[in-house]
Structure 1
Amino acid sequence: MLLNPNQREKLDPSNDALFYEHPRFVTHVDEGFIQQLTDLYRDRLKPNSRIFDMMSSWVSHLPDDVKFEHVEGHGLNGAELARNSRLDHYFVQNLNLDPKLPLPDRSFDAVLNTVSVQYVQYPEAIFSEIHRVLRPGGMAIISFSNRMFYQKAIAAWREGTERDRVELVKNYFKAIPGFSQPEVIVKESQTPAVFQLFGMSGGDPFYAVIATRIDS
């Protein structure tokens, strides 16, 4: 088993839909992180491809100068998703209660998850679904920093170091047959964590774990 029951627990065990009931029209990472993510998308995502933005919000951080055939969005707040101008369609679903995506097999060229993987309680099911909806050769990009809604992050994430979290996401991919060896992109903050506690910011650290569907 990838995670034991204790590692899946949240400090706030209430339904996630209640926590996200009211829209938050804010960004949860700094501009440096967002720019790195947008640059990564520009480099890795192909124009006129089909994109699934999983656990999204009112902004997807996709490059403005790249056009896609279709961008499907998913999240827990309909008002936020409705504000997202890059989405061609979206749906609301609590993946911790129902991980089965209402999407066809092999229907997307890329699946994106931005600063949300820390809230997934059943990554085996979610990453299996990511694999299912990807076309052969399709890519999944899981990006995150050190920020989180602490009470909603799973214990395995809360209690780990930043390096532990990278390994955790790598293991999520490795647990599902048919993914390539995960690639890791890291840009750590230049300010020691102890100084960040006193408000000295060196920029949010940037982590991305990337894997490709390699089976048919």
Structure 2
Amino acid sequence: MQTNLQLISSPHVRTSIKIVSTLNESHQSNHQQQPLSSGKIKRLVLTQEGRTKLNIYPDRDFYSYPRFVTHVDDGFISTLTNLYRERLRPDTEVLDLMSSWVSHLPSDVKYKRVVGHGLNAQELSMNPRLDFFVVKDLNQDQRFEFESCSFDAVLCTVSVQYLQQPEKVFEEVFRLLKPGGVFIVSFSNRMFYEKAISAWREGSAYSRVQLVVQYFQSVEGFTEAEVVRNLPNAQENKSPIGWILRLFGLLSGSDPFYAVIAYRNFKPILDD
């Protein structure tokens, strides 16, 4: 695990709610009351240019037909499922942002409620772990109709690269999380190139991790972001052609795994 990453300098990245407590008295004594600004956006990370996409048509049009495919390989999925097993407690409430027909949650763990979100109802209806789902374009409307402090965990898998208003989305996630709730953002090097934002398309693996770290830092109240990496074997083909094929998901092999994790207000101590 690696943390304490320094901010990057990029032409696409800017360099410049009162909490309803659900904590018991022992938690309250260990954590100071949050300032009124907690959960609000402190600064914008992206420039206007950094938010642009090559395909300017509405995302609802792009995702209007279902894609019953797997967007990452088995190694990535196994790593992610193990991470969820480690970080998500059973019998809790989970919101799966930008989800699809596939669930990466451990099949043998029971959760109190799993709510899905996405842009294609057919895909979401096929996801066996969802109790119900919401169809919404987060690039047009970042607000959900759930009450504040509704979820113990929010997940976003291989989709953060498509957010044009990530600061507002992370602000909304903060509102939805219970104090001590976790937000896990995972991604690899694959993408729909024409739908990814410019700041992501033109970045490196390192800068993309830094970008997600800064999304967390842009909202007052998240804990220091933790970075988890699981990189493929260094002997894999690194030729320009191989890189291009992997970028578009046309070359088999190990997908690099990245996850950036932070908590609302504080990181709870979980029982083993």
In structure 2, the partner of 1:58 is 101
Cα distance, 1:188 vs. partner? 1.6
Structure 2 unaligned spans of 5+: 1-43, 267-272
Matched AA of 1:131: F
Aligned partner of 2:130 among 79, 82, 87? 87
Aligned partner of 1:33 among 60, 73, 76? 76
TM-score by length of 2: 0.77
CA contact (8 A) 1:53 1:60 kept: no
- SS in structure 2 opposite 1:85? coil
In the TM superposition, 1:48-197 aligns within 5 A as 48-190=91-233, 191-194=236-239, 195-197=242-244
In structure 2, the partner of 1:211 is 262
Q: Which of 1 and 2 has higher RCO (CA within 8 Å, sep 6+)? A: 2
Matched AA of 1:193: K
Cα distance, 1:133 vs. partner? 0.1
Q: Distance in 1 between matches of 2:68 and 2:177?
A: 29
Cα distance, 1:59 vs. partner? 1.2
The root-mean-square deviation of aligned C-alpha atoms, in Å, is: 1.3
Cα distance, 1:60 vs. partner? 1.9
- SS in structure 2 opposite 1:168? helix
In structure 1, the partner of 2:33 is none
Q: Distance in 2 between matches of 1:171 and 1:135?
A: 21
Cα distance, 1:113 vs. partner? 0.2
Q: Distance in 1 between matches of 2:70 and 2:181?
A: 27
In structure 1, the partner of 2:35 is none
- SS in structure 1 opposite 2:209? helix
Matched AA of 1:136: P
Matched AA of 2:174: H
TM-score by length of 1: 0.96
Cα distance, 1:104 vs. partner? 1.1
Cα distance, 1:189 vs. partner? 2.2
Return the structure number with greater helix share: 1
* Closer/same/farther in 2, CA of residues 9 and 46 from structure 1, 3 Å limit: same
Residue identity (%):
53
Cα distance, 1:193 vs. partner? 3.4
Deviates more, 1:42-51 or 1:188-197: 188-197
In the TM superposition, 1:7-46 aligns within 5 A as 7-46=50-89
Deviates more, 1:20-29 or 1:187-196: 187-196
Cα distance, 1:202 vs. partner? 4.0
Structure 1 unaligned spans of 5+: none
Matched AA of 2:238: A
Q: Distance in 2 between matches of 1:165 and 1:132?
A: 24
Q: Distance in 2 between matches of 1:165 and 1:151?
A: 17
Aligned residues: 215
